[in-house]
């Protein structure tokens, strides 16, 4: 499984990812960490502390609930289940396009994988993101048209980066079937 | 199905088209206003060129409706559709559209000549369009003597010379480098907007689509209007 080094913790929501992983069924904190590392964090695994602090926050916000506690006590014994509010929160996150910016692929990749895992329409996420990128590209193209050479060169730089994102996005869209086979295996 | 916005010039609903066992369009829709530039995006083989050909009356859909200016295109015969294409539609394609034996100005004047305009008047109008597209200095050259970018601007001038209400552009910059492609798009969209022509722009390039007002995405023969989704 692919992992994008060094970007994850800054650019994306661990909470949403853990919530998404819970949609397929209740899990212990340890299982959640293992599923996360396997799918998204091969060379940058989550610390246990991150998992439990995130789960505490999600619990406090009513997005997960404790489904059962195994004898022995300790946070690692709790089994968490996603609530209806949690499912709504994941849905909202997946449906909201990301602000076009560098190193976006890791977040988009996570959203696409989670959509496939939870049987949502992953193509929908990519379409919405393409539209958001194009919106930004129209603004830059317009600025370029009205600006001087310096504006044009600066806008060109941003446009080429956005275009690279979009190429990745189109390629991912073309490979959704294959990706679905891999992630749900 | 969501009704098309009021004031649309060209509207298609539930278009279906198959070539033998291959489905090209599977319920696609489209609408465009006068003066609007709409990008049609999608991967190769998604059906976007078939959609353009149906909208332009070049290929009849198997089913579905296309209305132009309030008139159902299926009710027109071939001659009426041809007349409509000559009078109201303009076309720019990726390759090979100029007649190599004619000079550039004769190429641009050709649609007017086919509509019965005198040579002198047709070439005068053609030259004014060539000036807008910044290629009037190439008037007496033949297509083989000009660059790809220049030739494409000549083709855009020819597409606009009759004052079409809809310009169909299928990958108009597909054979050009970034700088030439950009200039063609700037001039094409400026010229179309100045005459309030609608532009149906088929492209797989995001930088080209960024010259549009909105985009629709075609995938597996189905279309999605992103403006109405967001």
Q: CA of B162 to nearest chain A CA: how many angstroms apart? A: 27
Contact A145 B186 (CB under 8 A): yes
Instruction: Using the predicted structure, report yes or no on whether residue B68 has a pLDDT greater than 70.
Output: yes
* Residues B100-115: tens digit of each pLDDT: 999 999 999 999 999 8
Chain A (151-180) residues lying within 8 Å, Cβ to Cβ, of chain B: 159, 162-163, 166-167, 170, 173-174
My answer on whether A26 and A91 are in the same domain is yes
Task: Kindly state whether residues A102 and A63 are assigned to the same domain.
Answer: no
- The question of ipTM being above 0.85 is answered as no
Residues of B in Cβ contact (< 8 Å) with A138: 210-212
> Could you tell me which residue, B96 or A78, shows the higher pLDDT?
A78
Q: What is the CATH number of the domain that holds A5?
A: 1.10.10.10
Angstrom distance (rounded) from CA A50 to CA B218: 42
Tokens 């001659």 correspond to B79
pLDDT at A59 over 60: yes
Residues A77 and A89 in one domain: yes
pLDDT in tens, A17-52: 999 999 999 999 888 998 988 888 766 788 888 898
8 A C-beta contact, residue B210 and residue A141: yes
Number of domains chain A is built from: 2
CB contact under 8 Å between A138 and B210, yes or no, is yes
% pLDDT > 90, chain B: 69
Whether residue A119 sits in one domain with residue A77: no
Domain boundary among A38, A68, A95: A95
Residues A108 and A89 in one domain: no
Tell me, yes or no, whether A1 and A88 share the same domain: yes
Which tops the pLDDT comparison, B150 or A106? B150
Domain boundary residue, one of A66, A95, A124: A95
pLDDT band at A72 (very low <50, low <70, confident <90, very high): low
Contact A183, A39 (CB under 8 A): yes
Tell whether A37 and A82 lie within a shared domain: yes
For B173-225, the pLDDT digits (tens) are 888 888 888 888 998 999 889 999 999 999 988 999 999 999 999 988 999 88
pLDDT band at A6; cut points 50, 70, 90: very low
Residue B101, token pair as written in the block: 């034996």
Q: Which residues on chain B are in Cβ contact (under 8 Å) with A127?
A: 217, 224, 226, 229
A173: closest chain B residue by CA: B43
CATH number of B10-228: 3.40.50.300
Which of A76, A95, A114 terminates a domain? The answer is A95
Q: What ranges do the domains of chain B cover?
A: 10-228
The boundaries of the domain holding residue A43 are 1-95
**A15: Cα separation from own chain's centroid:** 10
Same domain (yes/no): A6, A35: yes
* Phi then psi dihedrals of residue A85, to 5 deg: -65, -35
- A61 and A138, same structural domain? no
Chain A: residue nearest B229 by CA?
A128
Q: Which residue of B has its CA nearest to A141?
A: B210
């Amino acid at each position: 499984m692919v992992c994008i080094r060094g970007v994850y913790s800054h650019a994306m929501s661990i909470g949403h990812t853990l919530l998404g992983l819970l949609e397929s069924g209740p899990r212990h904190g340890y299982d959640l960490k293992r599923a996360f590392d396997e799918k998204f964090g091969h060379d940058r695994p989550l610390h246990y502390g991150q998992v439990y602090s995130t789960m505490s926050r999600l619990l406090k916000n009513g997005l997960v609930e404790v489904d059962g506690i195994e004898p022995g006590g300790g946070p690692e014994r709790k089994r968490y289940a996603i609530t209806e509010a949690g499912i709504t929160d994941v849905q909202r996150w997946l449906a909201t396009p990301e602000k076009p910016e560098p190193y976006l692929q890791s977040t988009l990749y996570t959203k696409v994988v989670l959509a496939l895992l939870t049987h949502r329409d992953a193509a929908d996420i990519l379409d919405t993101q393409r539209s958001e990128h194009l919106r930004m590209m129209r603004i830059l193209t317009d600025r370029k048209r009205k600006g001087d050479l310096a504006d044009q060169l600066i806008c060109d730089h941003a446009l080429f980066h956005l275009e690279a994102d979009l190429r990745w996005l189109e390629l991912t869209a073309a490979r959704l079937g294959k990706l679905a086979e891999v992630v749900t295996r | 199905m969501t009704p098309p916005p009021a004031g649309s010039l060209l509207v298609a609903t539930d278009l279906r088209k198959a070539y033998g066992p291959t489905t090209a369009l599977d319920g696609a829709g489209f609408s465009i206003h006068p003066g609007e530039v709409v990008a049609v995006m999608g991967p190769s083989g998604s059906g976007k060129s078939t959609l353009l050909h149906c909208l332009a009356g070049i290929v009849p859909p198997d089913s579905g409706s296309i209305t132009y200016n309030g008139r159902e295109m299926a009710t027109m015969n071939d001659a009426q559709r041809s007349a409509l294409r000559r009078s109201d539609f303009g076309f720019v394609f990726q390759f090979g559209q100029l007649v190599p034996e004619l000079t550039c100005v004769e190429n641009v004047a050709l649609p007017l000549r086919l509509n019965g305009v005198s040579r002198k008047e047709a070439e005068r109008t053609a030259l004014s369009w060539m000036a807008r597209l910044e290629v009037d200095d190439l008037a007496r050259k033949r297509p083989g003597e000009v660059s790809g970018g220049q030739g494409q601007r000549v083709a855009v001038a020819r597409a606009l010379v009759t004052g079409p209400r809809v310009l169909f552009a299928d990958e108009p910059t597909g054979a050009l480098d970034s700088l030439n492609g950009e200039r063609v798009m700037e001039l094409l969209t400026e010229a179309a907007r100045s005459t309030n022509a609608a532009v149906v722009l088929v492209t797989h390039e995001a930088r080209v689509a960024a010259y549009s007002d909105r985009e629709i995405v075609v995938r597996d023969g189905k279309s999605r209007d992103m403006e109405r989704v967001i």
